[in-house]
Amino acid sequence: MKTEIPAPAAAPAEGSGAPVLTKADVDGWLNGLIPYALSVGDVAGAVVVVKDGQILTQRGFGLADVKSRKPVDPERTLFRPGSVSKLFTWTAVMKQVEAGKLDPPAPAERPRLGAG
């Protein structure tokens, strides 16, 4: 059975009514999610949330080295990229689409750069 964990709730921005994501929001959400994830799977990782070009929060979870019981340090622990690289690639592609520099309906072997 898959457990759904809701995304962090953001506080409304002053005067605009639009939600503003804060460090407390993200950290509170991570504090609820990560202990559960660690209890059901032998995982380790680092989370870095960037907002408006600034690091909102960065946290390490689990052990970087199980034998020495060394915890994950979000600034120093290295991870193999694995499948997460797909997310970064897709984000980069969509940024190019938003900027009008890439046309997604174009065939992958010959993209139309500079579309729009």
pLDDT single digits (tens) 35-83: 888 888 877 888 999 888 899 999 999 999 989 999 999 999 998 878 7
Contact 31, 38 (CB under 8 A): no
* Residues 87 and 40 both lie in one domain: no
Q: Which residue has the higher pLDDT, 35 or 8?
A: 35
Residue 46 belongs to some domain of the structure: yes
* Residues 84 and 109 both lie in one domain: yes
Residue 1 belongs to some domain of the structure: no
- What are phi and psi for residue 94, nearest 5 degrees? -65, -30
Prediction pTM value: 0.58
pLDDT tens-place string over residues 24-37: 999 999 998 888 88
Contact 66, 72 (CB under 8 A): no
Domain containing 115: what range? 80-116
* Residues 42 and 88 both lie in one domain: no
